[in-house]
Structure 1
Amino acid sequence: MTAPTPVRHDGAPLAVLVCEALPRSGENGPGSYNMTVLRAVAALGYRLHLIVTGLNVAGGVIEPELPCTISYLHARQVGRWLFPLSISAGARWIKNRLGLKVRKGASDKVAWIGRFLSEGEVARVGASLPPVPVDLLLIDTIFRADAVRAIPQAHRRVLIAHDIFHQRCASFRANGFLPRPAVEAGLEAQKTALFDAIIAINPHDAAELAMMAPDARVSTILPVVANAGQTRVRTGEHEREPHRIFYLGSRAYHNVDGLRWFLEHVWPAVRANVPDAHLDVAGGVCGEFSAGNQPGVTLHGRVDDLAALTRHCSFAINPVLMGSGIKIKMVDYFCLGLGCITTANGAAGFPEQPAPPFDVAEGKADFAAAVVGAMQRTDHAAQLRERTVAYTPHFSHEAAVARLRELLTPASSVPSSASVIAAAQP
């Protein structure tokens, strides 16, 4: 375990985030959402210290996006390298060095959605703190909730919920997957009860969390993408290719499953109607598919400049069939100025006003028809793109800071759980 770098107490309050991995914008949904919260915390004047509990940490040091100090439970920093301190972390490091990433096949039905901390890890969390009082303790999902026992002196304890995990598990089971660990509603309620305040990723989750933890303050903070609220209808729309579309995804099970479903059951019908249809795929999900197996599909892998790639695309897709929470890839699409064709699962949790920049289609035939229709009706694809201008302010940094400030104000001026539930009703 890396000892924390001493921090001079300069009067600024200290916020500690206990998280699985170093948060990175655009790396994956959880990392992007943690950055949404961290940027808001920093904007309120807190100094930051991160305690990284994950096993996949060894290798070259990655610079954080915000000024902070960092402790790692399973690695020690030596110069510009992190060396594993546990057998599990060492095994992950060797696997990564050798490139031994096993693809998720259609028959791989066990879906790992998280990892609870061991008692030993909880104890080491307490030893990873800077030698100053903790004013604000932030915990990344219920899987790290027990870390609050290691930091009992924290003035405020806030859960970054990310999701309603027992609902995620139910969604995975309904699609034939075995979620691990299997989170039930009672267990999730026990974990959420450890916190004074909870950050929900959408209003539906806020209402559910308020019922599970009636004594906690609950607030919705929508995910932020770098240029949210600054989206403009691009000049040079002539660069758009009406039959070219985009997909972005990590290696998460719901992404792999959804894209596989699209390529096997939807894409052939699209190509039958639009022979020159082209799909650009970016992100870690590309590692789960073989290049050249699908006509009209280009796997780009991780892309640093998504705008350069998507400026030629007419719209994006999110054929997700399972999961819960809010789909951050769609916020990425909107902030890139792209509308989207998605499923009801993909649309869940998004604000209904102003007019959303996405269409919803369920089932193979309807999804294919929606994609073909948007390719052939260029005016409709353009309308979806235009809607992103008024829609993306929902996901702005300014909105996140305002909601966090409200959450951290004295309890007498913060809405009760009952009002949170009432506000989430249609």
Structure 2
Amino acid sequence: MLFAHDIPLQREVRWLIAAWRQRAPKKVLWRAWRTAAAAATHRRSSDAADILVTLSPKDAHISGRSRGRSPAEWIDPPLWDSGPEPPHRDAPEEPTAVFVAAFNRRENVEAATWLMHDVWPRVAAAVPEARLVLAGAHPPDALRAAAERRPDIVVTGYVDDLEALYGRVTVAVVPLHSGAGVKFKTIDALVRDLPVVSTRIGAEGVLDAHGRHPFIVTDEPGAFADAVIDVLLGRTASDARVGSEARERYGTDAYARRLSELISIVTSAR
């Protein structure tokens, strides 16, 4: 069984498209080479396994199209193991949005930059007391420097206790415009009953029982900002059913059941 947490081929294709739109010939050549290498690696590794397992139906579909032997399967990641109810969250002292990410990844730095420059000024104008927290390891110096010019933006660096951080915020934002795979940061917020505002890429693979995103999804900076404002001002609240369904879907019990099914598929085919 080969587990594909991410789909590097999809990420490389997206960066190749971005380079083409920038009319940057050197970037296009570099990204074209990277895409070809990712495609070859994906094919070799997936064909070497009896079963390829991804973390969402969307990724299974993508991998299945490029897999020569058989369709890919999928399993929801086990991101909840603390019982049916989320930890208690106190009301934050001030309206706070958080973006949790590893900032040694290019897509997360790009997302934070877009959030600070294209989205947050509109939020700050409507909610002057609001704070934006960029939480995660390895923030580059340029990101820290940009945040230092804004007293309402905090770059934390590595966070020892994310649970405590989630307990002090109003809304989780996922402003990604590149990358691939299921974004654990999105699910982590949902299972803790936090409202989520996300771009399409940040929401990929995270659907409810009806095949819809159970939170606000938009790539347009003004609409993104307005959605964050509505949550910060209390106009939009989290839906308890969304959190409950997320904890059941992404719980370790559901994961164990699905894993048993996948093991049965492998053993019955040999």
Residue 174 (structure 1) shift? 2.8
Note the alpha carbon deviations across 1:324-364, whole angstroms, 9 max, x for none: 21111112212333121000111111123267542112222
1:215 to 2:69 alignment: yes
1:283 aligns to 2:126 (yes or no): no
In the TM superposition, residue 229 of structure 1 has moved relative to its aligned partner by 6.1
Query: Could you tell me how far apart the structure 2 residues matched to 1:266 and 1:406 are?
Result: 43
Query: 1:279 is paired with a residue of what secondary structure?
Result: strand
Q: Residue type matched to 2:10 in 1?
A: Q
Task: Give the Å deviation of 1:412.
Answer: 8.0
Q: Is 2:228 aligned against 1:371?
A: yes
- Structure whose residues are more often strand by fraction: 1
Match of 2:256 in 1: 401
Q: Does 1:303 align with 2:159?
A: yes
Quickly say closer, same or farther: Cα 1:361–1:410, change in 2 above 3 A: closer
Change beyond 3 A, Cα 1:367–1:217: closer
Equivalent position SS for 1:338? coil
Query: For the Cα contact (< 8 Å) 2:193–2:238, is it kept in 1?
Result: no
Gaps of 5+ in 1: 1-157, 415-426
| Correspondence 1:167-316 to 2 at 5 A | 167-176=10-19, 179=31, 182-184=34-36, 186-187=39-40, 188-216=42-70, 218-227=72-81, 230-232=84-86, 234=88, 237=90, 239-241=91-93, 243-251=95-103, 252-288=105-141, 289-290=143-144, 291-316=147-172
CA distance 1:286–1:180, shift in 2 (3 Å) = farther
Contact 2:4/2:53 (CA < 8 Å) preserved in 1? Answer: yes
Whole-Å separation in 2 of the counterparts to 1:321 and 1:303: 24
Structure 1 position 248, deviation (Å): 0.5
What TM-score results when the alignment is normalised by the length of structure 2?
0.82
TM-score scaled to structure 1, two decimals? 0.54
Q: 1:299 to 1:191 in 2, by over 3 A?
A: same
Whole-Å separation in 2 of the counterparts to 1:242 and 1:180:
46
**Counterpart residue identity of residue 247, structure 2:** T
CA contact (8 A) 2:87 2:192 kept: no
Query: Are the structure 2 counterparts of residues 365 and 244 from structure 1 closer, same or farther at C-alpha, using a change threshold of 3 Å?
Result: same
Task: Give CA deviations for 1:25-45 in whole Å, capped at 9, x if unaligned.
Answer: xxxxxxxxxxxxxxxxxxxxx
Change (3 A) 1:300 1:196: same
In the TM superposition, residue 398 of structure 1 has moved relative to its aligned partner by: 1.7
Give the 3 Å change call, closer, same or farther, for CA 227–315 of structure 1 in structure 2. farther
Q: How does 1:66-77 map to 2 (within 5 A)?
A: none
In structure 2, what is the Cα distance between the partners aligned to 1:181 and 1:249? 27
Q: Helix, strand or coil: the match of 2:139? A: helix
Q: What secondary structure, in the 3-state scheme, does the structure 2 residue paired with 1:362 have? A: coil
* Residue 159 (structure 1) aligns with: 2
The correspondence of residues 129-168 of structure 1 with structure 2, limited to 5 A, is 158-168=1-11
Report the alpha carbon displacement of residue 322 of structure 1 after superposing the two structures with TM: 0.8
Q: Which structure exhibits the higher relative contact order, with contacts defined as CA atoms closer than 8 Å and separated by 6 or more residues?
A: 2
Report if the CA contact (8 A) 2:191-2:246 is conserved: no
1: CA distance between counterparts of 2:10 and 2:71?
A: 21
**Amino acid across the alignment from 2:54:** A
Deviation at 1:307, TM superposition (A): 2.1
Q: Quickly say closer, same or farther: Cα 1:280–1:193, change in 2 above 3 A.
A: same
Aligned match for 1:335, one of 184, 187, 191:
191
Identity %: 26
Residues of 2 paired with 1:283 and 1:353: CA distance? 31
1-structure distance, mates of 2:87, 2:52: 36
- What are the equivalent positions in structure 2 for 1:114-133 lying under 5 Å apart? none
The one-letter amino acid paired with 2:227 is: A
Partner residue of 2:181 out of 317, 321, 325: 325
Structure with bigger helix share is 2
Contact 1:199 1:218 in 2 (8 A): yes
Show structure 2 runs of 5+ residues with no match: 20-26
Tell me whether 222-231 or 365-374 shows the greater mean CA deviation: 222-231
Give the letter for the 1:318 counterpart.
Answer: V
**Which residue number in structure 2 is paired with residue 358 of structure 1?**
215
